[in-house]
Chain A
Amino acid sequence: MSALAQTALAALPPGLVWQADRLAQSTEAGIATGFAALDAQLPGGGWPRNALIELLSDSPGIGEIGLLLPVLHALPADRWIVWAAPPHLPYAPALAAAGVPLERLLLLQPDGHAETLWAVRQALASGGSSAVLAWLARADTAALRRLQLAAESSATPLFLFRPASAARQPSPAVLRLRLAARDGELAVDILKRRGPGLAVPLRLSLPQRPGLRRAPALNDALVRPDPVRPAAAGIHARRG
């Protein structure tokens, strides 16, 4: 870029022209994720408030819910937190211990894919939910676009959990993260955001995750009385 163009760009009011090598300056602040390293990489400094967010992962148990626990705390208390068609049972004792407001939790088990899509769209369009978490095994681009539009018009974030293979499929999602577990931490690979891609996955250490190698930086809201003491591997000699 010529020096002249640089000066011209610098003279423009901020936010008018977005340059591809920078993070978009979202006009609306996001919802803090609870992880400073992640906030720093997201436009708006957190989860977008009115968008489809794709979380791609294959196996359960890598900390995919742990990533959302801080935000589930912080949501306004007068609306539902919708869980649509989760693959397993959200386990109430663990959720309660993590401080998730169970009286605001709406667990939907619709009968089939079409009903799930309908329920998710309703949950977004009604304005009656503060966040929607949905698990869709398959979703074509048209369905995703409808979900993105519904999330956008209702200002409700939709966290859509999809298999990792969906990374190859183009998606209208504003934010796409691929999640994997690495050495007791959660590796977050930002596949798509409003801004340049991220070369190296972020490593987040989730509080409250058992079996961590080092002491986690506990979020004060998430402190549990039970200190995590990793057991040595291989003590499982079978007893008769």
Chain B
Amino acid sequence: MDEPGELAVVEHIPGARVAAATPAALARGVEPGQNVAGALAVAPSLQLRERDPALEAATLAEFAAWATQFTPCVSIDPPDALVLETSGSLRLFGGVTGLVRRIRSGLVPLGLDAAIAAAPTPLAARWLARTHPGRQIRAAAEWWRKLDDLPVELLGDGAAVSRATLDLLHGIGARRIGDVARLPRDGLARRQASGVLDTLARARGERPDPRLWFLPPERFEARLVLPASMLHTEPLLFAAGRLFSGLSAWLAARHAALDRCCLHLEHEDRPDTVLEIVTGAPGRDDGRMLMLAREHLAALQLPAPVEALRLLADNPVVTPGRTQDLFGDPDSARDAAALLLDRLRARLGREAVRTVHPVSEHRPERAWRLADPGRPAPRNTPPAAGPRPLWLMSEPRALESIRSLTLLRGPERIESGWWDGADMRRDYYIARTPDAALWWVFEQLDPPGGWYVHGFFG
């Protein structure tokens, strides 16, 4: 997406203050916590956006669903954090460092950034991410001593320690968490500060800190408001790519696959344009779905600029995991064939991508039908009474004379269909043209007269 430029998010607590700002705005001297008048004084071109807690919560939930691909134990830590319990999956992802790298590179297509830290307890990890993003504390004897240098204000972050208690601690000269830990416990308890002890014990892992694990929603729905209304395919696809990566992660977390999803393009004052993306075989490859969306968009004339995108999917199919094959993937040819069918259908339309099947019927026009590709053809069709041409004309073409033709074989009388109103009585011949091509011609008997060419022995 375009670089947003100098942009700040504003909240009202109670006066209008800057809650967060883009790097460009920070460089101009805008600071979180600054009041809006001050921010506008240092950066006159600053754009302001209202803080939207609902949107933040939705983004966090989307991110949580995405993160379930790394571990099933993901917990939303309101208002702005996620806790991943990773001890079960560290080995798979190559340790904490490897996992952090995977998360970071996975966030790029989502357009998100995160401060990541690792520690043996959720609270310690949260505090580290807040103050020293990128740091890791490994579980070792007395690891919690490394928390002692953190500022005491963190006790109010993600834990039930009130502002008044923090002021009290500040008042008695405790600046660091280590200072608090050295205070006499009964004294703290007497000053209604037992929450402090509890928080400290949870951060150090001396008391259990159970979390409610996040359950990925049954139905995937993600919406992305575009920064500006768009009519062009490429930026739309770029934005849609973010939604598809989210969908792919949601599917990965559920060990599931999808064979259809709907991409809604929202317009102002108009019903949505809906792209139904159907894949031949269930899959969870976001690149493939994006490619199909590209074909749909290329074949589409957008009625109006697009304001927002919404991706909906439900009914995922649970698929067993597939191990990597040492000797190449035996299914790759099959996958390529299914993918080709999807692409052709998306661009040309279902009606333009068919196959033909024989039908047990005497009338040549009705002895075949269009069918969906890949369906097995009926095996028990009795062979035709005579030779049949490889090409059939969609309509028989009247011949002015057959003088130039040599009839090689025939007649084969085809007389049928009196019961359904499309009855015919024809004598079919194989005819040779002057340039030695073979045609399938017939003489119309009922009503009498007229020769027609109906097919070619290609």
Of all chain B residues, which has the CB nearest A103? B376
Residues of A within 8 A of B367 (CB): 92-93
Assess the A129–B368 pair: CB atoms within 8 A: no
A11 on the B face (CB < 8 A): no
Assess the A78–B456 pair: CB atoms within 8 A: no
Contact of A119 among B338, B348, B388, B432 (CB under 8 A): B348
Assess the B348–A88 pair: CB atoms within 8 A: no
Residues of B within 8 A of A78 (CB): 333-334, 337
In the complex the two chains form, what is the Cα distance from A159 to B291 in whole Å? 27
Scan residues 366-382 of chain B and give those whose CB is less than 8 A from a CB of chain A: 367-370, 373-377, 381
In the complex the two chains form, what is the Cα distance from A230 to B409 in whole Å? 6
Assess the B336–A126 pair: CB atoms within 8 A: yes
In the complex the two chains form, what is the Cα distance from A181 to B457 in whole Å? 11
Assess the B383–A225 pair: CB atoms within 8 A: yes
Contact of A65 among B332, B388, B390, B430 (CB under 8 A): B390
Assess the B390–A98 pair: CB atoms within 8 A: yes
In the complex the two chains form, what is the Cα distance from A181 to B390 in whole Å? 16
Residues of A within 8 A of B408 (CB): 210-211, 230-231, 233
Assess the A181–B437 pair: CB atoms within 8 A: yes
Residues of B within 8 A of A90 (CB): 356, 390-392
Our count of residue pairs bridging A and B at CB distance below 8 angstroms stands at: 218
Residues of B within 8 A of A93 (CB): 358, 367-368, 381, 383-384, 388
Of all chain A residues, which has the CB nearest B337? A128
A20 on the B face (CB < 8 A): no
A183 on the B face (CB < 8 A): yes
Contact of A64 among B364, B435, B448, B458 (CB under 8 A): B458
Assess the B344–A108 pair: CB atoms within 8 A: yes
Nearest Cβ on chain A to B449's Cβ, whole angstroms: 9
Residues of A within 8 A of B436 (CB): 62, 180-184
Residues of A within 8 A of B455 (CB): 88, 91
Residues of B within 8 A of A94 (CB): 384, 387-390
Interface size of A as a range: 35 or more
Of the listed stretches A21-29, A41-49, A109-117, A145-153, chain B binds A109-117
Residues of B within 8 A of A233 (CB): 406-408
Question: Taking each of A79, A96, A110, which has the highest tally of chain B beta carbons within 10 Å of its own beta carbon?
Answer: A96
Assess the A128–B352 pair: CB atoms within 8 A: no
Scan residues 67-119 of chain A and give those whose CB is less than 8 A from a CB of chain B: 76, 78-80, 86-98, 102-103, 105-111, 115, 118-119
B6 on the A face (CB < 8 A): no
B294 on the A face (CB < 8 A): no
In the complex the two chains form, what is the Cα distance from A181 to B352 in whole Å? 32
Assess the A76–B435 pair: CB atoms within 8 A: no
Nearest Cβ on chain A to B332's Cβ, whole angstroms: 8
Of all chain B residues, which has the CB nearest A212? B408
Scan residues 289-345 of chain B and give those whose CB is less than 8 A from a CB of chain A: 332-334, 336-341, 343-344
Residues of B within 8 A of A226 (CB): 383, 386-387
Residues of B within 8 A of A195 (CB): none
Assess the B388–A211 pair: CB atoms within 8 A: no
Assess the B448–A127 pair: CB atoms within 8 A: no
In the complex the two chains form, what is the Cα distance from A119 to B375 in whole Å? 21
A63 on the B face (CB < 8 A): yes
Nearest Cβ on chain A to B353's Cβ, whole angstroms: 6
Assess the A211–B356 pair: CB atoms within 8 A: no
B97 on the A face (CB < 8 A): no
Nearest Cβ on chain A to B300's Cβ, whole angstroms: 14
Main secondary structure of the interface of A (DSSP, over half): loop
Nearest Cβ on chain B to A229's Cβ, whole angstroms: 7
B429 on the A face (CB < 8 A): yes
A168 on the B face (CB < 8 A): no
Question: Taking each of A59, A94, A97, A211, which has the highest tally of chain B beta carbons within 10 Å of its own beta carbon?
Answer: A94
In the complex the two chains form, what is the Cα distance from A123 to B392 in whole Å? 25
Interface size of B as a range: 35 or more
A14 on the B face (CB < 8 A): no
Nearest Cβ on chain B to A104's Cβ, whole angstroms: 8
Nearest Cβ on chain B to A190's Cβ, whole angstroms: 19
B85 on the A face (CB < 8 A): no
Residues of A within 8 A of B437 (CB): 59-62, 181
A236 on the B face (CB < 8 A): yes
A214 on the B face (CB < 8 A): no
Contact of B340 among A58, A95, A128, A230 (CB under 8 A): A128
Assess the B355–A102 pair: CB atoms within 8 A: yes
Assess the A209–B393 pair: CB atoms within 8 A: no
In the complex the two chains form, what is the Cα distance from A92 to B388 in whole Å? 9
Given the interface pairs A61-B456, A231-B410, the reply to whether A79 lies near B336 with Cβ below 8 Å is: yes
Given the interface pairs A106-B373, A211-B409, the reply to whether A65 lies near B348 with Cβ below 8 Å is: no
In the complex the two chains form, what is the Cα distance from A181 to B432 in whole Å? 10
Given the interface pairs A79-B337, A211-B438, A226-B383, the reply to whether A106 lies near B344 with Cβ below 8 Å is: yes
Nearest Cβ on chain B to A212's Cβ, whole angstroms: 9
Residues of B within 8 A of A110 (CB): 348, 352
In the complex the two chains form, what is the Cα distance from A102 to B370 in whole Å? 11
Scan residues 147-192 of chain A and give those whose CB is less than 8 A from a CB of chain B: 180-184
Scan residues 38-84 of chain B and give those whose CB is less than 8 A from a CB of chain A: none
Of all chain A residues, which has the CB nearest B438? A61
Nearest Cβ on chain A to B357's Cβ, whole angstroms: 6
Residues of B within 8 A of A183 (CB): 436
A235 on the B face (CB < 8 A): yes
Residues of A within 8 A of B391 (CB): 60-61, 65, 86-91
Interface string of B380-420 (1 = CB under 8 A from A): 01011011111111100000001000111110000000000
Residues of A within 8 A of B341 (CB): 80, 106, 128
Assess the A76–B438 pair: CB atoms within 8 A: no
Q: Which residues of A contact B (CB under 8 A)?
A: 58-66, 76, 78-80, 86-98, 102-103, 105-111, 115, 118-119, 122-123, 126-129, 180-184, 209-211, 224-226, 228-231, 233-236, 238, 240
Q: 23 A–B contact pairs at CB < 8 A? A: A62-B438, A64-B458, A65-B390, A86-B391, A89-B392, A89-B393, A90-B390, A90-B391, A92-B369, A94-B390, A95-B390, A97-B388, A102-B377, A103-B374, A103-B376, A106-B353, A107-B373, A111-B348, A122-B340, A128-B337, A210-B408, A225-B383, A228-B409
7 closest A-B pairs (Cβ-Cβ)? A61-B456, A128-B340, A181-B436, A61-B437, A92-B368, A65-B458, A211-B408
